[in-house]
Structure 1
């Protein structure tokens, strides 16, 4: 029997998840299509260059040929390649101080090589060791200046490349966060969210999420720009077939809801509540929880409650999530319903909510091993619903059983 060569043996050892579905080789630059399938960038780009307009793995027609970097998978591949058990190594570009300084100069002087310099910085920034060199040589500052000095659509490509590079850097540093949270930079983020390609819009949403999570004043400043909210909402309204786009839009909206004024702005945005509600039936656990968390935040405002009540499927959809998705989702759902019933609780509406099976679900919540806060809100909601004559006896019977 012929023994496999070292090369063949290494190929067999490559985890299937790390192989490109087209080339069947180890991916070095994994990117995802709107169908959710990940390919090696050179392979899928060649596929599209040959005139194809389908996803090779699923044969689905693709709505967009935008390629979304799969940073998580790239990191796993990188870690596996450098593990003690593997002899494979993906090439890691090295940042040379002199070269980086030239890149910074090309970026600041708007030279003909500006876009190439921005792309080079973006590629280098994928590696921690390079990020230290890039920062020390002023590359991060140059990227931020691109956003601050945005003049017109002629600067659009540069802005998109700059955002894609910035998200590779931690933004915990006060100075960087402060500069990115100023109006000129935020206006540029707005432009990218509204007019950029899908990859850049996802990167921008990730940057907005980081800034808003790190600093409430930044969240307030960002949320005051209407185009930011519109852009984030459009990410999951227009790209339902791209999980990365949906998730990034939701995750960026959530920290913006930490500012009360932003909640009213989001609630008043046309189609916002409808988009969140319509996501829920097919959402996975994580996205369902984020959607409900946003809706719960909106329900604390009169604008949010009006928008929720006005949507015919909103309350029934929230009721259906109770006890189905997760304990967190149930907590958000109970609080949404409590806000609606307490503030907009006309008898007809309360009766409709009871007819959806809410009463019975709340009784189950009180008997579950869930958080005390959830039980507290469920108990309050039960008392409101039990005010209806036909439910009073049920509530009294349950109370005597549970509380004695």
Structure 2
């Protein structure tokens, strides 16, 4: 159908479309998987007897859903701005102009960003959409003098969760741009303002996507011992990051939580001890043993367990958790080489260094000797190979039984 040349079409942001109907959502609700649908569409799906999330096909532990009030508000604001403009369908002409504001309109939005809550939400939504569109836009936004300082100022002075979520979205989009991380670090840690409480609020009350974004921003600014200490000493932050990794099924959320915890645990024994108290060993064990866990997530879980295994409390918790030890042994040689070496380091800490009998027995029940010999033959690093040699010594038996169940071509490897 021909279009009048003066007729204006607006492309609907994908975030606002229901994954089932592909229409703008009127009543967005989120499943336990974190995916949001229009209420009528997902209710019909569930009423037809389905017990899976349509987007991810994960089996739903619960068919309950909760209203996504933040997204509903954003759709309302967007619809209000665009109510007189016809919206294109998902299959409309790709050459239709995108719904972007100009650079001058962006600057005007930034000027009015803190006038009122409504103006703030509207402006932040426009800024976020502008930044999402292209790398060039993100670079331009990051180069605006005083912009980062302005939104951090808002971050520290409001408690409106929708505002906080949008700020996290914007910061996550531009934190890797030139100079932004350094400016953000200065503003968060060098000023006499509480800039970390908003992160706790988003991790506690925000949508899944905003919780992921806040974890990624925290990871970016945890650049040295001082900043790591400030973050970990903020009440509730470590717990919420662990909860993000523990309670979600979305691999992106789990990975974001684990990555941030790794950044915060680099050299701090108190942090590792606190994570052990939260149950990080059990959490990581479940992640590693998951049959459909993403390889990159397994690698990060292995790395985090290796990090806590460097403290006595961590080694004790690993030794007591037979499931974690078994999961690590089973994953050796089944993921990335880095993940395998993290696993070897964990086994070395609890089975060789500490001689934990429970951990040794759990490893032996899962054919650890065969796995360790395979790692030695795989071309691992010198450090990993030496740990493997030590582990073979721990699990040594007489020469016949040592390789009795080892029928591959690697039988020529001598235990030590």
TM-score normalised by structure 2 residue count: 0.71
For 2:239, the equivalent position in structure 1 comes to 230
Using the TM superposition, give the Cα deviation of residue 298 of structure 1 relative to its aligned residue in structure 2, in angstroms. Answer: 0.8
Q: For residue 101 of structure 2, what is the aligned residue in structure 1?
A: 94
2:113 equivalent in structure 1: 107
Contact kept in structure 1, 2:244 and 2:254, CA below 8 Å: yes
* Aligned mates of 1:90, 1:259 — CA distance in 2: 50
User: Structure 1 residues 111 and 359 mapped into 2: Cα distance closer, same or farther (>3 Å)?
Assistant: closer
Distance 2:54 2:325 in 1: 40
Aligned to 2:138, which of 106, 128, 131?
Answer: 131
Q: Is the Cα contact below 8 Å between 2:319 and 2:358 reproduced in 1?
A: no
Q: Distance in 1 between matches of 2:228 and 2:131?
A: 25
Name stretches of at least 5 consecutive residues in structure 1 with no aligned partner. Answer: 8-18, 70-85
Matched, 1:290 2:300: yes
Shift of 1:211: 2.0
Give the direction of change, closer, same or farther, for the CA distance of 1:129–1:202 in structure 2 (3 Å limit): same
CA drift of 1:165 comes to: 1.5
Pairing 1:299–2:305 present? no
Residue 370 of structure 1: how far off its partner (Å): 3.0
Is 1:245 paired with 2:245? no
What is the CA-CA distance between 1:289 and the residue it aligns to?
0.7
- Partner residue of 1:345 out of 349, 355, 358: 355
C-alpha separation in 2, matches of 1:52 and 1:400 = 58
Match of 1:116 among 116, 122, 128: 122
Cα deviation, 1:149-172, whole Å, max 9, x if unaligned, reads 34xxx4333222211111110345
Q: TM-score, normalised by structure 1?
A: 0.73
Asked whether the equivalents of residues 148 and 183 of structure 2 are also in contact (C-alpha less than 8 Å), the reply is no
Aligned equivalent of 1:161, options 162, 166, 173 = 166
Contact 1:34 1:66 in 2 (8 A): no
Output the CA distance in 2 between the equivalents of 1:192 and 1:313.
32
Which residue pairs with 1:309 in the alignment? 319
Is the 8 Å Cα contact of residues 53 and 62 (structure 1) preserved in structure 2? no
Count of aligned residue pairs for this structure pair: 355
- Aligned match of 2:343: 333
SS at match of 1:167: helix
User: Among residues 346, 368, 382, which one is paired with 1:372 in the alignment?
Assistant: 382
Cα distance change of structure 1 residues 210 and 92 upon mapping to structure 2, 3 Å threshold? farther
Match of 2:262, SS? Answer: helix
Q: Retained in 1: the 8 A contact 2:322–2:358?
A: no
Q: In 2 relative to 1, CA 350–186 (structure 1 residues): closer, same or farther, beyond 3 Å?
A: same
Could you tell me how far apart the structure 1 residues matched to 2:125 and 2:232 are?
A: 29
| Superposition deviation, residue 295 in structure 1 | 0.5
Report if aligned partners of 2:285, 2:323 keep a CA contact under 8 Å in 1: yes
Shift of 1:340: 0.6
- CA pair 32-124 structure 1, distance change in 2 beyond 3 A: farther
The 2-side partners of 1:400 and 1:298 are apart by 33
Equivalent position of 2:77 in the other structure: none
1:145 counterpart = 2:153: yes
* Alignment check: 8 A CA contact 1:230 1:269 kept: no
Deviations 1:91-122 (A, max 9, x none): 1513433x344433433344542222222222
Question: Structure 2: any 5+ residue segments left out of the alignment?
Answer: 4-16, 47-52, 72-92
| 1:264 is aligned to 2:272 | yes
Alignment of 1:275-286 (within 5 A): 275-282=283-290, 283-286=293-296
- Check conservation: 2:273, 2:314, Cα contact below 8 A: no
Specify which of 361, 384, 393 is matched with residue 383 of structure 1: 393
- Please give the residue correspondences for 1:29-44 in structure 2 after superposition, counting only pairs within 5 Å: 44=37
Distance 1:303 1:391, change over 3 A: farther
Distance change (3 Å), C-alpha of 1:145 and 1:262: farther
Counterpart-to-counterpart distance in 2, 1:360 and 1:120: 57
TM-aligned CA deviation for residue 299 of structure 1: 0.5
Aligned to 1:320: 330
Which has a greater percent of helix? 1
Q: Distance in 1 between matches of 2:313 and 2:366?
A: 24
Partner Cα separation in structure 2 for residue 67 and residue 202 of structure 1: 18
